[in-house]
Amino acid sequence: MSHLEGLRANSSHFTLEGQPVQILGGSIHYFRVPRAYWEDRLLKMKACGLNTLTTYVPWNLHEPERGTFNFHDQLDLRSYVRLAAEMGLWVILRPGPYICAEWDLGGLPSWLLQDKDIQLRTTYPGFVDAVNLYFDKLVSVIKPLMFKEGGPVIAVQVENEYGSYAKDEKYMPFIKTCLQSRGINELLLTSDNWEGLRYGGMEGVLKTTNLQRLSYGAIQHLADIQPQKPLMVMEYWSGWFDVWGEHHHVFHAEDMLAVVSEILERGISINLYMFHGGTSFGFMNGAMDFGTYKPQVTSYAELLPEVPSPQKRRAYEPVVIQQHLSLWDSLHFTDKPYRSERPVNMENLPVNSNNGQSYGYTLYETTITSGGTLYSRNNIRDRALVFVDRQCVGSLDYKTHELTLPDGKGERVLSLLVENCGRVNYGKSLDKQHKGIVGDILLNHTPLRGFTIFCLDMKPDFMRRLINSGQWKSDFKSSCVPGFFQGRLYVDGAPRDTFIRLLGWGKGVVFVNGQNLGRYWFIGPQHFLYLPGPWLRSGENQIIVFEEQKADDKILFAENPDHGKTIDVYKLPFCTVL
């Protein structure tokens, strides 16, 4: 055990090994950047003169099922931090357990919601037990990376923006103890926006703040409540996130420069959130809900200009759709369907070793004997396509709670294909983020009963079964929706980064060589999906599109994405999310 003197906050500036330091940080999330590009992104950070990498740690990816941990490959946190060390960067870890990050449920695993009484981010026993087991594993991974052990981690954040939540005064001391009792002896920090700084804080834990503008006095407020301590902006918001159906947010460099220059001139430490945004691949985007539910897009904040040279990109030739498989024909490849009198939400389905379904789609089927009005009573989370005898008759979502079903004779099958569009990642409603059908659906005021429920989380095993099924039909039919559409991309030479454009398609998800690139939706603002070169191979590549409502016969590529209509972040009313 070495006797290195770590980061200290005992005066108006930080010291490291007794020498004064100013932290010039940037956030890059390893889970939002293909592993093959970690080094490239960190080199760019170094080239910009930054000295510290900050990253969140997403619990829901590292423990996808209770007691099953994954710190390998794309999630190899230890390798990521060691790579930063090799480049001479310090590291500030932000392990949560809650991270916000515009990430599904703020990084908390959805299996926590199986307990109907759960109180997330409190000392509720069920939550405490889960956090303890996770921290047992997590700290065993990160402890060798601490500065005092010879690693680059100079500070660890305790939870995240708890001052804005503040449901339980014993909770933050519990998380602090979780870290210290397992041998984390580096400087501990909290980070809060302006409203959250009112929270009392803890002995021996440095407060930092999160902001985008200096006009609100947050830094002066921090100095007043924490005299003779170093000042740090843990999140200087250098970008902003987008939600489906609204404009793309842009943040002009000149607006940014004025603020950053002033912060640096005053000797304040800073972390750019984000330095490089990356992509919320798969189904991992979060959502916001301040009275209206708004799911976030697949791309994460577009940010600083890339220096040195960006990766070479390529606009490949269009890929022609060669085969399709309807959703109904794909049901053989799901796990065994579950039968239940009443609808069951995703998280409580007996799938994935009884950890429930976390992400994707769930299909609910029952029989009806009449037409009439379907009432969702806002129990659809978040969006359902409604079918009678496999013909689409409309949709239900958080805005539309009623739908007229056509009349017909005899028994007919009513199907609801429900998509989890992303759980809210910020605010007081985290405990209420169950997805699927969360209560009764009424037909002519009578609750529907007798459901068969299919889990369509589209995990790699399911996709493999689908690909190898021999059930694909070779004539293209745009009417074969919802369904899976397959084409092949031939790459000659070394694969390059590219962007997929689904012009003429409606809403769905794209898989390339089994990797889930994320969601697309014609309403924008995002119309392109990032396809990293390292996920392609020379020769043949398989592209599968799951499309809900409107397919085209080809997939287009571009070297650069177009973000559609934009809105300047500085013209927005001031918002304290992120």
pLDDT tens for residues 190-205?
999 988 998 878 999 9
Report pLDDT for 386: 98
- CATH of region 7-295: 3.20.20.80
Helix (H) or strand (E) holding 255: helix 253-265
pLDDT on residue 332? 93
What local confidence, expressed as pLDDT, does residue 302 receive? 62
- Residue ranges of the chain with pLDDT lower than 50? 1, 574-578
Q: How far apart are CA 322 and CA 197, in angstroms?
A: 57
Among 25, 23, 44, smallest CA distance to 33 is for 44
For helices 125-142 and 77-86, angle between their N-to-C axes, nearest 10 degrees: 40
Instruction: Let me know the angle formed at the C-alpha of 333 by 537 and 467, rounded to the nearest 5 degrees.
Output: 20
Q: Which of 189, 102, 59, 95 is nearest to 425 (CA)?
A: 102
235 labelled catalytic: yes
Per-residue model confidence (pLDDT) at position 1: 46
Candidate list 63, 102, 159, 161, residue with the active-site label:
161
For residue 500 the two structure tokens come to 């997929």
| Residues constituting the chain | 578
Whole-number pLDDT of residue 198: 85
Rounded to whole angstroms, how far apart are CA atoms 44 and 40?
6
Instruction: Write out pLDDT tens, residues 125-174.
Output: 999 999 999 999 999 999 999 999 999 999 999 999 999 999 999 999 99
> What residues are paired with 90 via a beta bridge?
52
Tell me how far apart the alpha carbons of residues 481 and 549 are, in angstroms, rounded to a whole number.
6
Query: pTM of the entire structure?
Result: 0.96
CA 380 → CA 101, 258, 346, 397, distances in Å? 25, 45, 11, 6
Q: Which two tokens stand for residue 222?
A: 């921090």
* Cα–Cα distance for residue pair 79/6, rounded to 1 Å: 21
Per CATH, the number for 342-449 is: 2.60.120.260
Question: What pLDDT score was predicted for residue 578?
Answer: 38
Topology alike, domains 7-295 and 342-449: no
> How many Å is the Cα radius of gyration of the chain?
24
What's the pLDDT at 575? 46
Quote the pLDDT of residue 577: 41
Give the CA distances from residue 169 to residues 129, 141, 534, in Å, rounded to whole numbers and listed in that order: 18, 28, 46
Fold category of 319-325+461-558 in CATH: Jelly Rolls (2.60.120)
Angle formed by the axes of helices 77-86 and 38-47, nearest 10°: 40
Query: Choosing from 235, 302, 347, 548, which is the catalytic residue?
Result: 235
Domain ranges of the chain: 7-295, 319-325+461-558, 342-449
